Structure 1
Amino acid sequence: MLKYLLAPLAAAFIFLVAFGLAQPELGYQTKEAAYSGDAAAQMELARMYYEGNPLDQSFDQSVFWLKKSAEQDYPDAQNTLGRFYLEGHFVEQNTEKGLALIQAAADRNQPQAQAFLAYAYGRGLGVERDASRFLLWTNRAAESGDAQSQFSMGLLSLTGTMVAKDLAAGKMWFEKAANQGHLEAQVTLGEMLMQGVGGKPDLVEACKWFAIAGTRGNQKGNAYLMAIVKDMTREQMDEAAARANAWLDERGLE
């Protein structure tokens, strides 16, 4: 179970905020704010240099501004810089420094940092393996909004692994993760609703989640969708489709 929970949490070197296309004037404004000491602007400037948009790509400048932001205890910068140190990504590898930065970000409720600490304690990555700390940080990351951690807490609650078995809590965590677009959570929630786990079966809502997951390429979701519609009326299928389309439209997805 623990291995299954940890598998999706492998570190990836990305800036952990989704950005739209930046414009040149935005780069100028961000530089101004960064030079004036704005930690969020320094993080954004580091992102601009890292991606080369709209500024010329410079990993040296990216790390420079990332450090400036982290020095001001900006959690996103601490987390990203910590990942850089762990892997020697444009900085000299330093596991101790990397984990310290991630710990600092996690203490400030940065969800990806909290999720990574859970991963570290589960794997024994730079620290001794510790199941209680794995659970602590998985729970904190879930509460902070990390979708994978919410899915993990759902599994733990559903199976009674490391926590008391609680079907309602499991369903709640799956719903939170599903609404953030977590495909496995969407399918698992659909299964619970289809089978009536923790409540009465709800074929319409289950079909909605299978349709959403299937639309986004999940084969298991598609398979369940094909199976569940055999037991649904046309009105139920239309309602499920309407709910699925509303969910996708609200998030700008197709």
Structure 2
Amino acid sequence: MKADKVLFITQEITPYVPETQMARMGRKLPQLVQESGRQIRTFMPRWGNINERRNMLHEVIRLSGMNIIIDDTDHTLVIKVASIQQARMQVYFIDNDDYFQNRGMLTDEDGTEYPDNIERAIFYARGVLETVKKLRWIPDIIHCHGWISAVAPLLIKTAYHDEPAFQDTKVVFSVYGETPKNNPAANFRECLKFRNIDDQLLDNTNIDFSSPDALAQLAVTFSDGLIQTEEGVAVETLDFARKIGKPILEYPGEPTSEAYTAFYETL
């Protein structure tokens, strides 16, 4: 398929957060894809350790203000934006006081995973998709990076499938070494339910919703293809993908637009 418009739903981008393999990928890959002549849009959470003043984030009022209901509780969606001038790249940030303000990424300062990480991932994914609808931009490929993006493939293929922006979109999920280590919260499945996502749909998967690997399995199940972004990582996730017949691009080395866009166009 064509891959002229690529949406990146990303967990980390340098320089907004400390540099990691994922943050470097979040910064470099969208730029490479854009420089190859394709259009991009890039999203990440407004993590609590992001300095808004130094990075010149500002709220986009026309995109903000929607309430997203998760487990019967309303959470206000706030959209902010900033630019990486040297890359000529704009980044949209999903923000909410309950889920991101003054909070770290996967864990708190003591290294304890946040008990509502599942809800945070759902809010992030729904926030991105609702914002893309408002932007009236139709992606050919949606490329998800990191555990915080893992709910997006499910939503795109089910609850948002009939939306004009996502009807023909293919979804790619990049697997990394960092994943949640704790078992999901007891309300995991209940929080996922939205529109046509119900017990019957979730029961018809091979996902172990009690496993720490549940988010990765969810992303794999509803993605059209996977990319291994670091050599030797996420072996169990890749084995799960092979078991259910998902196309995989095994670690292709340092990112190039050719390797990634060629994989996009095979889907």
Do the two structures share a fold, i.e. TM-score over 0.5? no
Structure (1/2) with the larger strand percentage: 2
Structure (1/2) with the larger helix percentage: 1
Higher relative contact order (CA 8 A, sep 6+): 2
Q: Which has the larger radius of gyration?
A: 1
